[in-house]
Amino acid sequence: MKKLLTVSLLGLAMAAGNAQARDYDHVRFGVDVPYEPMEYRTPEGELTGFDIELGNALCEEIGVTCEWIEQEWDGIIPGLLSRKYDAIMSSMTINDERRATVLFSDPYITPPSAWFAPEEADIDEPSTENLDGLTIGVQRGTLQDNYVTDHYGDVADISRYSTADDMVLDMEAERLDIVFLDFPVGKSTLLDSEEREYKVVGEMITEPKEYFGDGFGIAFRPRDEALAERFNEALATLKENGTYDEIYQRYFEK
């Protein structure tokens, strides 16, 4: 009797498991807006950006409809796990720490991180001595946050922001000495800014891999392997047929 119960429970669990790994015909993406040029709103209020356009193109390729749900960065992985949306496409770097919790697609872009400071700042190289006593801005819970916290947490003041926007605002207000950001985001929010002149300090940073990972990927719940596979195939197709390059050029080679 007990065995029968176990078997039937097992069967139930498996049936439930199957039902969860269903074939999606509608995919909800979690995204943290704004993060220009990856995801942001046009002055008309329309959601756009590299992630958004590529995501929509991928959905079209697969033949599913998709929807974008906004979520602040520091809660974006818990939101995926609690099924507020089915995937995260929000400039998320693939690294081991996150791999333990979510399933990643193949990387779709690999941008470096970079330090940005006002043009007139007399800092030319980010190092422990040079950053001593400065206020560094990062977005909370990003890999830049982890990197800065572990390397300069002892010498510098770290200000953590919920959104990249708040951080840029405080940079313009002269509350921050230097910020550490994904390069494309820093370029479009700071370098292209008309408020003040900014410069990139030191080299672009992509190492060490334990922090900077393997590029941006789409994150799924671990059990949605089939869905991730469909996105990987679609990504390969878009790269072959030129759609990817077309979107890339629109956002990065202006």
Partner 1 sequence: MEPLNQWLAALLEGNVIFTPQTLGYYWTGLVTTAQLVFLSLLVGLVLAVPLAILRGSKHRWIKLPVYFYTYVFRGTPLLVQLYIIYYGVVFVDGIQQSMFWPILKEAFYPALIAFTLNTAAYTTEIFHGAIKATSRGEIEAARAYGMSQGLTMRRIILPSAFRRALPAYGNEVIFMLHASAIASVVTLMDITGAARFVYARYYAPFEAFIFAALIYLCLTFMILYFFRYLEKRLLAHLKPLNGT
φ, ψ (nearest 5 deg) of residue 250: -65, -35
The distance of closest approach from Cβ of residue 76 to partner 1 in the complex, given in angstroms and rounded to an integer, is: 9
Output 64 or 131, the one with its CB closest to partner 1.
Answer: 131
Separation between Cα atoms, residue 18 and residue 94, nearest integer Å: 27
Going by their DSSP bridges, the two strands 26-31 and 87-88 should be labelled as parallel
Output 5 or 100, the one with its CB closest to partner 1.
Answer: 100
Structure tokens at 180: 């550490």
Which of 52, 23, 74, 11 is CA-nearest to residue 227? 23
The distance of closest approach from Cβ of residue 77 to partner 1 in the complex, given in angstroms and rounded to an integer, is: 5
The distance of closest approach from Cβ of residue 158 to partner 1 in the complex, given in angstroms and rounded to an integer, is: 9
Residues forming contacts to partner 1 in the complex (CB under 8 A) are 73-75, 77-78, 81, 101, 140-141, 145-146, 159-162, 166, 169-170, 172-175
The distance of closest approach from Cβ of residue 233 to partner 1 in the complex, given in angstroms and rounded to an integer, is: 28
Output 5 or 173, the one with its CB closest to partner 1.
Answer: 173
Q: DSSP strand E in the chain: where?
A: 26-31, 40-41, 47-48, 65-70, 87-88, 103-104, 113-118, 135-139, 157-161, 178-182, 198-205, 219-220
Output 160 or 239, the one with its CB closest to partner 1.
Answer: 160
